[in-house]
Amino acid sequence: MKRSSGIFLCTFLLARTVTAAGHPFTELEIPLPTLTGTHARAVGMGGAQIAVAEDASAMTWNPAGLARVRRIELEATLSADGEKIETTWFGSNADATQDETQFAGLHFLYPFPTYRGSLVFGFGMDRLKNFNLEYKRSGMDGDVALFDGPALLTDTQTRTGKLTAWSAGVGWDVTPRLAAGITVSYLKGTILDEQDFLTEDVTGIDTTYISVRDNFLLDLDLSGYSALGGVLYQASPRVRLGAVAGTPRVVDFGRFEQVQTQDFLENGTEEFSSESNILVDETITFPWFVGFGASWSARGLLIAGDVRYTDWSNLKDELGDFELFLKPYYGEATSVSAGGEYLFSRIPLRLRGGYGYDPVPFNLTYCPFDECLSDGRDPAEIDVAVDRNRHVFSAGAGYLFGGVFALDVAFETARFERVIESDPALYSETRSTNRIIATSAYRF
């Protein structure tokens, strides 16, 4: 009745176990990392930071910005994340909500004394991803082979886990106008995912079986590494230009998977049960990416914009000695961020706003059997429309107390939809996410 997704990894959405009864997504969809960051100023400006970041957030966005730090700084971040998933399955609606407040980051910056220019070291911890999830869908399928007729299908999922990056960075002045920097990160995290799929004969059409339950347990320990390099150029007193490049990220998974099946008779007794355990190593290599940014400032107003490019067709997933063929499902993606900040002249208050366009690089669509064979796609796939035009909106504010203590807050909201194009009532999904983040920094 059900097959496991088999692929989980770090950052922004996780792949879910899927059913053969109409779920449009398969194990070929890998949740992809995005640069959401753990700093309120960056979030409040929509992530437009490549030519702007000049505090601990530079370790995430452009390490060359560390060279602009002039005082020892200690920074901490808290975030409150909320997500609501609404589903329609076989014409029936369901929803699930998940909320959590967590410690999201801790950073220390140290400007090293120099005769000229700047040399700044940074060390930090960022909670890049909160994997917690509550998901539910339920609907009446009119044709289930097991019962030779209609059955009520209920699919629930509970997932816990986090991904943390431990980073060290350095930024320095190459010339009075040009700065460079690099951040190296070690990634460590865990994921525990349990999914339950129940098929029930609620009409009594089958005289032998009343229900079948499939349970899937996935336990992952993941570790990896990544590096980010960047440059920052002061083109004029008002204009900055920045560029970054991220090396391929290699993430190793210690993977344990358990599948249990139980058949129940009409009298409520269990007739059959089975259990299988899988222990295998998995390695996912994320492709390189490049980004460019520019900012302009005048009379307290700062405007910034970023563009990032990633060729996701170079994504590689190796499961033991087997490599999944992903190239037909992933393509190039260019994300755009824009944001602004205004500093009041009489009080040390900054107001911010931002927008991000983050297209989805994964696209799963139906293809005829002969065409699938020609390019390696799975002919069992069904017609799926993925809303590639993912939009993120944000707002924020910051205040400097006594010239030494800064407090920044931001709010971010996003919405993501996908649906079976040929029959929206068969399956559709809407994910709404909201995030409140606060960063405090003390400058010695």
Q: What is the DSSP string of 355-375?
A: EEE----B------HHHHHHH
Cβ neighbours of residue 405 closer than 8 Å, sequence gap 6 or more:
440, 441, 442, 443
Beta bridge partners of 191: 161, 220
pLDDT higher than threshold 60 for residue 367: no
Return d(Cα 154, Cα 199) in angstroms, integer: 7
Return d(Cα 241, Cα 292) in angstroms, integer: 8
**pLDDT given for residue 22 in this prediction:** 33
- Comparing 28-37, 42-51, 383-392, the range with the smallest average pLDDT is 28-37
Helix, strand or coil, per DSSP, at residue 148 = coil
**pLDDT given for residue 20 in this prediction:** 31
Considering only residues 329 and 228, tell me which one the structure prediction assigns the higher pLDDT. Answer: 228
Tell me the two tokens of residue 204: 């009594």
HSE-CB for 19 with a 13 A CA cutoff: 24
**Mean local confidence (pLDDT), 58-77:** 95
Neighbours of 268 (CB within 10 A): 8
**Mean local confidence (pLDDT), 410-424:** 81
Secondary structure element (H or E) that encloses residue 40, with its range: helix 40-44
* Cβ–Cβ < 8 Å for 16, 259: no
pLDDT higher than threshold 70 for residue 377: no
What residue spans of 85-193 are helical by DSSP H?
A: none
φ, ψ (nearest 5 deg) of residue 420: -75, 115
pLDDT higher than threshold 80 for residue 15: no
**pLDDT given for residue 184 in this prediction:** 96
What predicted TM-score, i.e. pTM, was given to this entire model?
0.83
Q: Round the CA-based radius of gyration of the chain to a whole number and report it.
A: 24
The residue assigned the tokens 């063929």 is 325
- Comparing 197-206, 229-238, 283-292, the range with the smallest average pLDDT is 197-206
**pLDDT given for residue 9 in this prediction:** 31
**pLDDT given for residue 383 in this prediction:** 53
Calculate the CA 257 to chain-centre distance. Answer: 22
**pLDDT given for residue 366 in this prediction:** 43
By percentage, how much of the chain surpasses pLDDT 70?
A: 83
Tell me the two tokens of residue 359: 């297209």
Considering only residues 56 and 128, tell me which one the structure prediction assigns the higher pLDDT. Answer: 56
**What domains are defined for the chain?**
2-443 (2.40.160.60)
Identify which of 360, 432, 384 has the alpha carbon closest to the alpha carbon of residue 96.
432
Identify which of 202, 96, 90 has the alpha carbon closest to the alpha carbon of residue 138.
90
pLDDT higher than threshold 90 for residue 211: no
Return d(Cα 264, Cα 253) in angstroms, integer: 35
The residue assigned the tokens 């390695």 is 283
pLDDT higher than threshold 50 for residue 207: yes
**pLDDT given for residue 137 in this prediction:** 86
Beta bridge partners of 272: 263
* Cβ–Cβ < 8 Å for 214, 259: yes
**Mean local confidence (pLDDT), 36-48:** 86
pLDDT higher than threshold 50 for residue 361: yes
The b-or-e profile of 123-135 (16+ CB within 10 A means b, else e) is ebbbbbbbbbbbb
pLDDT higher than threshold 60 for residue 23: no
Calculate the CA 59 to chain-centre distance. Answer: 18
pLDDT higher than threshold 50 for residue 7: no
pLDDT higher than threshold 70 for residue 246: yes
**pLDDT given for residue 267 in this prediction:** 67
Q: What is the mean pLDDT of the chain?
A: 82
Return d(Cα 56, Cα 39) in angstroms, integer: 8
Instruction: Report residue 150's pLDDT band, with 50, 70 and 90 as the boundaries.
Output: confident
β pairing state of 316-319 and 301-311: unpaired
pLDDT higher than threshold 60 for residue 21: no
